[in-house]
DNA sequence: GCAATTGATGTAATAACATTACATAACCAC
DNA sequence: GTGGTTATGTAATGTTATTACATCAATTGC
């Protein structure tokens, strides 16, 4: 599916995430958007749901936070497995993709007849600068 | 480090998790242990912190829940990378370990000079029975 | 045009998950 | 037994996410 045009709220949330240095929680996004008329968490969560669905945003499960996708591609096709390094020092998040990991996980899940719907890979630690 | 003897509260939480079919949230554990004198979330979170430290329990980030470790070994050495399949249908969680995944992730993080402290791999989907 | 449907939005209330702060008790070393 | 450390009890608060219900806008079918 091609990404549809974003609504006003979706655009506001997307812009907030795109211009952010690092990941933001839903409530942090809410605070950033109060000047633009946001009043309640649900406005953020609803926009995030769509942006996640379109593949424009990723959720970091270990942080309860969200980041804009940094893939070069146009989001018209599936991401496959997305992985992240997350620096505990500076908060920097780096998204990466690796076919070898994907194939290996696929082989392992196939072996237990498990049907994968979503894969989370998050690596917490320290980046080069913060080591 | 050898696993020290567990305190009363740690034992209660460990037993609750061990005897559970699937993962439990901290508040679910609290409810199960009210008859044994538990009154507040902190009693659960403190016990969980230690059990996580000892490697007897794992936290599932994508569920905000906890499971007893199912590794055969005696927990006297490091787990390495732990991965989970999580069935959305029946809640079944399967823990597994794979050297190939571990080595590949290690190579990828080394390439970005990232120092890994904790790796989360969680695969959501449907098990054979629930497919 | 106008009813019916669908998707998006606004608002309030509540639920679910986790931590801070402070006091007390148990344990161990000396 | 004094002092240091770890474990515990309790209350309050902070953070994250959802439910429920009303309203509004765009689209469709007639
Ligand atoms: Zn991406
Ligand atoms: Zn850093
Ligand atoms: Zn384990
Ligand atoms: Zn299942």
Q: How far apart are CA B98 and CA B82, in angstroms?
A: 8
**pLDDT score, position B2:** 67
Strand, helix or coil at A10? helix
**pLDDT score, position A1:** 59
Task: Of A76, A61, A129, A91, give the one whose Cα is nearest residue B124.
Answer: A61
C-alpha distance from A35 to closest chain B C-alpha (Å) = 32
Task: Look at B62 and A119 and tell me if their CB atoms are within 8 Å.
Answer: no
Distance of A42 CA from C13 C1′ (whole Å): 12
Q: How far apart are CA B43 and CA B124, in angstroms?
A: 29
Enclosing H/E stretch for B75:
none
Q: What's the pLDDT band for B3 if we cut at 50, 70, 90?
A: confident
When scoring A107, A121, A131 by the number of chain B Cβ atoms within 10 A, the one with the most, hence best to mutate, is A121
- What global pTM score does this model have? 0.93
For residue B70, is pLDDT > 80? yes
How big, in percent rounded to 5, are the helix, strand and coil portions of chain A?
35, 25, 40
**pLDDT score, position A77:** 60
**pLDDT score, position B74:** 62
The closest nt to A25, taking CA to C1', is D16
**pLDDT score, position B14:** 97
Q: Which two tokens stand for residue A113?
A: 């007849």
Residue range A8-125 in CATH 3.40.190.10:
no
Which residue positions in chain A have pLDDT lower than 50? none
In sequence order, which residues have a C-beta less than 8 Å from that of residue A95 and are 6 or more positions away? A58, A67, A69, A70, A71, A82, A83, A84
Is residue B84 within 8 A of residue B99, CB to CB? The reply is no
**pLDDT score, position B73:** 65
Question: Sign of torsion, CA A126 A67 A46 A32?
Answer: positive
**pLDDT score, position A35:** 95
The closest nt to B40, taking CA to C1', is D10
pLDDT per position as a tens digit, B72-119: 766 656 778 999 999 999 999 999 999 999 999 999 999 999 999 999
Domain residues of chain A, as ranges?
A: 8-125
Torsions phi, psi for B41 (to 5 deg)? -55, -35
Task: Please tell me the number of the ligand nearest to residue B89's CA.
Answer: 4
Q: Which two tokens stand for residue B67?
A: 């499971």
Q: How far apart are CA A81 and CA A121, in angstroms?
A: 8
A129 and chain B: CB distance < 8 Å anywhere?
Answer: no
């Amino acid at each position: 599916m091609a990404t549809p045009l974003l609504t006003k709220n979706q655009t506001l949330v997307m812009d907030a995430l795109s211009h952010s240095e690092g990941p933001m929680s839903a409530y942090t996004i809410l605070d950033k958007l109060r000047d633009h008329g946001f009043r309640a968490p649900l406005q953020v969560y609803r926009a995030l749901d769509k942006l996640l669905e379109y593949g424009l945003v990723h959720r970091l499960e270990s942080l309860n936070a969200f980041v804009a996708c940094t893939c070069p591609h146009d989001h018209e096709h599936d991401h496959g497995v997305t992985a992240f390094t997350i620096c505990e020092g500076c908060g920097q998040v780096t998204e990466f993709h690796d076919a070898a990991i994907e194939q290996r996980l696929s082989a392992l899940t196939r072996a237990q007849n498990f049907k994968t719907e979503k894969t989370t890979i998050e690596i917490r630690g320290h980046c080069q600068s913060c080591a």
